[in-house]
Amino acid sequence: MNERIKKILEELGLKRVDFANRLHISQPFASELCSGAKSPSERTISDICREFGVNESWLRTGEGEMFAAPTAASDKIMDFAAEIARNDDKEFRKRLVVMLADLEPRDWELLERIAEKLTT
């Protein structure tokens, strides 16, 4: 499974530290998963699949597609992200997405409350 975990990082262009942070695991544990020194728990497998859109069957066995089939909403988001990633860093949409990516969970909750007030 360690080779498939390394493949996920490679495919997504992630560093081990970013992988660890997104899964809320330590960087040494992420390295151990990649090297095969440790095996992921059921929860870690579930977290990898959820966080990175990985097909659980592929992660466990290597069979099937690496990534789960995206939903229509996911396709739309991915198309938008790809488009703005190609744009100049000074473009508003790109700056906005970068700011959103840096939000903490409590910031998202506040933003959601503001959006609800604006739409009622």
Closest CA to 39 of 66, 59, 22, 9: 59
- Look up residue 104 and give its DSSP letter: -
CA distance 106 to 110: 6
- DSSP 8-state symbol, 37: S
CA dihedral 92, 95, 97, 103 (to 10 degrees): -130
CATH 3.30.365.10 at 2-61, yes or no: no
Residue owning tokens 């100049």: 88
| Residue-level pLDDT at 42 | 96
| CA-based max dimension of the chain | 53
Q: Are 55 and 64 spatial neighbours (Cβ–Cβ below 8 Å)?
A: yes
Per residue in 22-71, pLDDT (tens digit) is 999 999 999 999 999 999 999 999 999 999 999 999 999 999 999 988 76
The secondary structure of the chain in percent helix, strand, coil, rounded to multiples of 5, reads: 70, 0, 30
Residue extents of the structural domains in the chain: 2-61, 72-118
pTM: 0.59
